[in-house]
Amino acid sequence: MNKYCSSCGVEMPAEAPQCRSCGAIQDNFVYKSRVAAAVIAFSTGLFGIHRFYLGQWWGIFYLLFFWTYIPMLVAIIEGIVFLATSQKVWNDKYNRGLSLGTEKGGVVVIVPLVFIGIAMVGIIAAIALPAYQDYTNRSKVLESKLVAQQLMPAVESYAFERQQWPRNLEQLDIAAPRTSDNVGSVEIDAGVIIVAPAASTGIAGALVYIPKAQGSSIVWDCTESTIDKRYLPADCR
């Protein structure tokens, strides 16, 4: 199949990107920018978009494994390689040896750096935010633990005096335990102390401290607590 040059009208192969006669770049030729490829790699390389941009189907592997963040590291390295590649080598590889002039130098340095920065912040946020969330949730649960600990001596002395567990909080005849915004309900049920974090913390379940007579003393077991293990004090896990 032949066609005619869009510039000089000479007959030429349909798939040829450039006219041999007048040198005009043909409409069917899509120039692959080196800088654009690098910028895409730095920004959305996690999903393999730079590979799709370059017409490479195996960008799909980036897409499949984006959740591991490994494609992002690969893409950042590839972006750096793109920038380090000379325009001539790049054009030979991706533009069938054709050139649309040299790409601007300033953009080459600044834009990718901005995207590296954004990518780094993204990675750090993705790792650090859940860790920070766990940390704050643990400290909120700790406030419930402190409330439970306030009640333990009262439950113990009640049990020693009457040889039975207090049925509820009222039986203890003590001032209401000091709580905080992060502590929801405080209950005693047959000696068992149950303290639940406030609903506003978003932490489901409760700390459950079960008293057990051990010789002449009482030990407290909180391994039956119903809060997510990630947020429990170490001795309750």
Q: How far is the CB of 23 from Zn ion (least distance, A)?
A: 7
Among the listed residues 6, 56, 51, the one whose alpha carbon sits nearest the alpha carbon of residue 28: 6
| 22 lies in the binding site for Zn ion (CB under 5 A) | yes
Q: How far is the CB of 30 from Zn ion (least distance, A)?
A: 19
Give the one residue of 1, 4, 18, 19 binding Zn ion; rule: CB under 5 A.
19
| 164 lies in the binding site for Zn ion (CB under 5 A) | no
| 21 lies in the binding site for Zn ion (CB under 5 A) | yes
DSSP category for residue 96: T
| 199 lies in the binding site for Zn ion (CB under 5 A) | no
| 8 lies in the binding site for Zn ion (CB under 5 A) | yes
DSSP lists the bridge partners of residue 192 as: 189
Q: How far is the CB of 12 from Zn ion (least distance, A)?
A: 7
Answer yes or no: are the C-beta atoms of 218 and 130 closer than 8 Å.
no
CB closer to Zn ion, 8 vs 129: 8
Give the one residue of 4, 7, 181, 223 binding Zn ion; rule: CB under 5 A.
7
Binding part of the chain for Zn ion, among 13-21, 42-50, 59-67, 160-168 by CB under 5 A, reads 13-21
Q: How far is the CB of 13 from Zn ion (least distance, A)?
A: 12
CB closer to Zn ion, 4 vs 61: 4
DSSP category for residue 185: E
Q: How far is the CB of 84 from Zn ion (least distance, A)?
A: 35
CB closer to Zn ion, 7 vs 185: 7
CB closer to Zn ion, 19 vs 75: 19
Q: How far is the CB of 36 from Zn ion (least distance, A)?
A: 27
Under the rule (CB under 5 A), what is the footprint of Zn ion?
5, 7-8, 19, 21-22, 24
